[in-house]
Amino acid sequence: MDELHDRLRMTAGKISYRQIGSMTGTHPETVRRYMQGQAPSVAFVIRFAEAFEVGLEWLLTGRGLMRPGEGAGAALQSVGLDTLLKAVGDRLTEIEHKNLADRERKPESTVEPKQATETVSATEAPIHRSARPLEDIRRCLAERRRSTEAPTGDHYDAA
């Protein structure tokens, strides 16, 4: 059996040939043959992908997303801000370590880069990009933690 049939079976799971036939407008016996290795029709593959909400490219080739709605946007929506900031911080730490290692390999005569300045428009002031984005993210995480920490009990003076 080839990978297409493996993906068809994996996607269908324990759904009966009759149910798949109903979902795709295909006779159950034809579905059985397709699921057991016969080359499916193009129309069946398209209707199957639509019925099970899987990516057609993934179904045919194994490339791309199995479920197109599960891309980066959907993943970002399901992740909390703290998790996202931590992931960005971790990635920036990796980059910072790599940059430090690269600097150690370069000769001493290299000049330190200046802080980047960018002007958005002629009427706006220049925007200064932080030379230390990792510290900015750590500061943001610490501020977020402080702002979300709830008191452990009712604190009041009983005077």
Residue 50 domain-assigned (yes or no): yes
pLDDT of 12: 94
Residues 92, 142: one domain? Answer: yes
Residue 32 resides in a domain: yes
Determine, yes or no, domain membership for 154.
no
Distance CA 110, CA 5 (A): 58
Helix (H, G, I), strand (E, B) or coil at 14: coil
pLDDT of residue 38: 92
Q: Where are the beta strands (DSSP E) in the chain?
A: 117-119, 126-128
Q: Which of 79, 92, 75 is nearest to 132 (CA)?
A: 92
* Residues 38-67: tens digit of each pLDDT: 999 999 999 999 999 998 888 888 888 888
| 93 pLDDT more than 60 | yes
In a domain, 155, yes or no: no
**CATH code at position 63:** 1.10.260.40
% pLDDT > 70, the chain: 57
Tokens matching residue 111: 């000049």
Please give the residue range of the domain that contains residue 129. Answer: 79-107+120-148
pLDDT value of residue 52? 94
Q: What is the mean pLDDT of residues 75-83?
A: 64
- Tell me, yes or no, whether 95 lies in a domain: yes
pTM to 2 decimals? 0.46
Residues 42 and 94 in one domain: no
The answer on 100 and 67 residing in a single domain is no
Q: How confident is the model at residue 23 (pLDDT cuts 50, 70, 90)?
A: very high
| Residue-wise pLDDT tens digits, 129-140 | 455 656 666 676
Q: How many domains does the chain have?
A: 2
Same domain, 91 and 141: yes
- What mean pLDDT comes out for the span 12-22? 96
Q: Please indicate, yes or no, if residue 33 is contained in any of the structural domains.
A: yes
Q: CB–CB of 139/147 below 8 Å?
A: no
Residue 153 located in a structural domain: no
Q: 60 and 22, same structural domain?
A: yes
Q: Does pLDDT of 118 surpass 90?
A: no
**Of residues 72, 42, 39, 45, the one with CA closest to residue 58:** 45
Q: Answer yes or no: do 66 and 93 share one domain.
A: no
**111-137 core/surface letters (b: 16 or more CB in 10 A; e: else):** eeeeeeeeeeeeeeeeeeeeeeebeeb
